[in-house]
Structure 1
Amino acid sequence: MGNNGSSQKAGSETREPGAGNASTGDAIDLLITNCVILPVPGTAQLISHGYVAIAGSRIVGVGPMAQCPQGGIRTVVDGQGQLAMPGLVNGHCHAPMTLFRGLADDLDLVTWLHQHIFPAESALVSPEMVYWCSRLAVAEMLLSGTTTVADGYFFEEEVARACVEVGLRCVAGQAVIDFPAPGAPDPTRNIEVAEAFIERWLDRDPLVTPAVFAHAPYTCANTTLQRAKALASRYRVPLFIHAAETRSEQTLIAEPRGRTPIAHLDALGILDRDTVCVHCVWADVQDLELLRISGSAVISCPQSNAKLASGRAPLPLMRDHGIRVGLGTDGAASNNSLDLFREMGFAARLHKVNPGRPAELPAPAVLAMATHQGAEALGLPAETGRLVAGAPADLILVSLQQPHLQPMHGANLLVYSGSGADVRTVIINGRMVVEDRALLTMDLAETCARVRRLARSTVSLANPG
């Protein structure tokens, strides 16, 4: 078998009951053999020569090859020379913004947003743009090992459609904002648009969890924030909101003055276990205590925050407070990559620089944030982000044959040396969507061509006058 792995149809004989670690009676649809396994990122446990068994959409067994099931297996994938691990969880993204990648670089958030991104969105965002640019984002994420994304944008039904068609798991949030926006030209109907989206996708597809994305406390009035939260609570779906992203954000909140963004959200009754606050760069100790008491989660986007010079979130302190924390890339317009391996490496290094402690935010903690802890922050079912029996079959195979991944003394190497380009195979919900770095569920060339055609309209926006 080659080092990049190969798949083959196995015989149809009946498997012996209880073989290996697989649950008794499970017919195995896909068996990955001969691989190194990282079952729970963030722990030291590695299985040096093992198997992963999948039945339907679930993992039914993980263990050493000595316990590998025999017989009754539909497809076998030889994982020789590869590492099997849970797929990565991108906790915050604006998938359609691939169209604006490189449009407005080297700017602060306020200038970037108000002078470039908002005008570009007003001129260019349409259902067609959202669909095709989301497909491009999905391709980029799949090829770099992401199996779940939390997304928030306008025309979010097109993002959800792209994810389902290509096979990426998503928590999809319809954007709510208090000015005329794509898909909601009348801002007084923004909650109505969000509710229609939730009703359309609630329990419709196992890959999609609908959500509400209230843009920010400075772009949504107090009543809008409360109505958005009430909507999310009524349908029992997550509420996402940008919060405490910049030093100046407190001065942008219209009423009342003087509260921090986190304290503002708490006073309005927005914070609870189903609320996910994105960024929280300028959250102080009192803010962290409010997040802890409420049970709210945080998604940090360190590369986007650094590129926009917004600052660095206090991730170690958040973790010390027991706050659920995950990692996100943000959109391709402000990162400009959707590769979570890059995000992990940057996060781990950034938090060591100041206060100058090399053990600050260690690699195991970052691996956990990018997998099962990120899934927990999004409110996904228990065991998501782990390779254990009963967990969703969302996993990736990473080639260990790359020079930069040898010798492999442990999983920390994935954070400090790994790259999305090392991912060879991606399986989501038990379905193989990438095999030997080939996308099996979409025509990537067609998608790239469509996005390039759409991008011609951005030239005048990038070069005004």
Structure 2
Amino acid sequence: MNSDHEKPDILITGGTLLTMAPPGRIMDNPVIGIRDGKILFVQQGPPSLSRSMTAREIVDASGCIVMPGLVNVHSHLAMTCFRGLADDLPLMTWLNDHIFPAEAKFIDRKTVYAGAMLAIAEMILSGTTTFCDGYFFEGEVGRAAIATGMRGVIAQGFIDFPTPDRPGRSEQAAIAERFVERWRDRSPLVTPSLFCHSAYTCSPETLQTVKAAARRTGVSFQIHLAETREEVRLLRERYGRKPVQHLRDLDLLDENTIAAHCIWLGGEELDLLAEGRVKVAHDPESNMKLGAGVAPVPEMLRRGIDVGLGTDGCASNNDLDLFGEMGMAAKLHKVFSGDPTALPAERVVEMATIGGARVLGMADRIGSIAPGKEADIILVDIRKPHLTPLYHPFSHLVYAARGADVATSIIGGRIVMKDRCLLQIDLAAVMEEVRRIADRIREAGFHHKADPL
């Protein structure tokens, strides 16, 4: 029996464990001890081993796959308020005619907080335990993360036209640095970052100013990159360079840059990303829905580029279920390449866990289940018709499981969902608040209706 000194707060027993440390390791009938928010030990043994241990709370994982919580490396949480607002449109039309005008009119602190609360609820319910976000009024996203017990990277957004939280382009460096300092030590759950929307909405001066602030403060720098053919055309017209070449010329490519999408890249640009150790956020469902294209992810991985999975925002996806994203990523690259071995299931699960943690610079803390790491753990209930029988856990997670199969979620050693019940969020109240926001948007005539067939 364990001594009081070593007694865990939470004991997880039974099930099938995917440690992701190293990736591919599978353990039956594990016993996982959690103390003070961290993983205390991971052991394998007969049921008698767990019966000899005590803890404040014992979680029975029988019939479940136990695995690290999923890491969503690219999102815009507040855009849950725009879910389904403007669908079946090209990216530039979607942005310029619908999303940017809606943001200008409706995005404020209250809307961002409400949208973030709904997004966090959706993510916890579908197995995500860490998100990476970039938007306006990003401090409200941080407040929502703390209130719900969610782990998040929050990035203050910058763009070269007036935004809801910043009327002009003045004092960008000061605004960026104040944001980082305000959030650097606010909570162990929240990590600050900085985000420039893109190279076609931000001038070279803005990009360099914000990146310099990120370097001075030691945080990551996020940007949408090479998402569409139109972006490539615009940058070649303005600067005579492709998007990655343009960022190279501005000295923005390094290991603390997280580039989302990265679709329209040739071999030279992939080499530049690899040489700069740039991290990539792959958002397959958003890219497919907007008709943006297919990112060359298998080629990125062959070059040693760290790639994680993201959902993008609900206005372009339209959900935040990383299980769906895993399945879509694996199948998309198989059909696009004509190669059924492209992006195998185990590699996709790695991208959604420890790979995502590497993208965020947090692999020493999250993404795998090992002693000393943060206790961010989910239990996937496989006692269901669509998950029976079980031969290979990794392929089950990618090709058969859904976010709704996640039964329990633990973040930082705190149980935030148990038996599909959210413990920190009044979900009915959160949804009602977002419905009220949607009523205002609808009444103002911002709801795009697709042309009839």
Residues in 1 aligned to 2:21 and 2:400: alpha-carbon distance in whole angstroms: 16
Residues in 2 aligned to 1:270 and 1:177: alpha-carbon distance in whole angstroms: 16
Query: Does residue 64 in structure 1 map to residue 44 in structure 2?
Result: yes
1:63-102 aligned at under 5 Å gives the runs 63-66=43-46, 67-68=49-50, 70-102=52-84
Contact 2:284 2:325 in 1 (8 A): yes
Which residue of 318, 323, 329 maps to 1:347?
329
Contact 1:41 1:371 in 2 (8 A): no
**Paired letter, 1:280:** C
SS in 2 for 1:148: strand
Aligned to 2:396: 413
Which residue of 433, 438, 447 maps to 1:462?
447
1:9-408 aligned at under 5 Å gives the runs 15-16=2-3, 26-40=6-20, 43-66=23-46, 67-68=49-50, 70-253=52-235, 257-382=239-364, 384-408=366-390
Number of residues paired by the alignment?
444
Give the TM-score taking structure 2 as reference length. Answer: 0.95
**Paired letter, 1:371:** T
Aligned to 2:421: 438
**Paired letter, 2:122:** E
Give the TM-score taking structure 1 as reference length. Answer: 0.93
SS in 1 for 2:401: coil
**Paired letter, 1:231:** A
Give the share of equivalent positions with the same residue, in percent: 47
Structure 1 stretch 49-58 or stretch 120-129: which is displaced more? Answer: 49-58
Residues in 2 aligned to 1:35 and 1:51: alpha-carbon distance in whole angstroms: 9
Shift in Å, 1:16: 4.2
SS in 2 for 1:329: coil
Residues in 1 aligned to 2:438 and 2:171: alpha-carbon distance in whole angstroms: 30
SS in 2 for 1:313: coil
**Paired letter, 1:114:** N
Contact 1:16 1:71 in 2 (8 A): no
SS in 1 for 2:56: strand
Shift in Å, 1:347: 0.4
Residues in 2 aligned to 1:255 and 1:190: alpha-carbon distance in whole angstroms: 26
Residues in 1 aligned to 2:127 and 2:172: alpha-carbon distance in whole angstroms: 34
Residues in 2 aligned to 1:252 and 1:188: alpha-carbon distance in whole angstroms: 25
Gaps of 5+ in 2: none
Moved over 4 A (4+): none
Contact 1:154 1:182 in 2 (8 A): yes
**Paired letter, 2:405:** D
Residues in 1 aligned to 2:162 and 2:51: alpha-carbon distance in whole angstroms: 58
Gaps of 5+ in 1: 1-13, 18-24
Contact 2:86 2:448 in 1 (8 A): no
Residues in 2 aligned to 1:222 and 1:254: alpha-carbon distance in whole angstroms: 14
**Paired letter, 2:159:** I
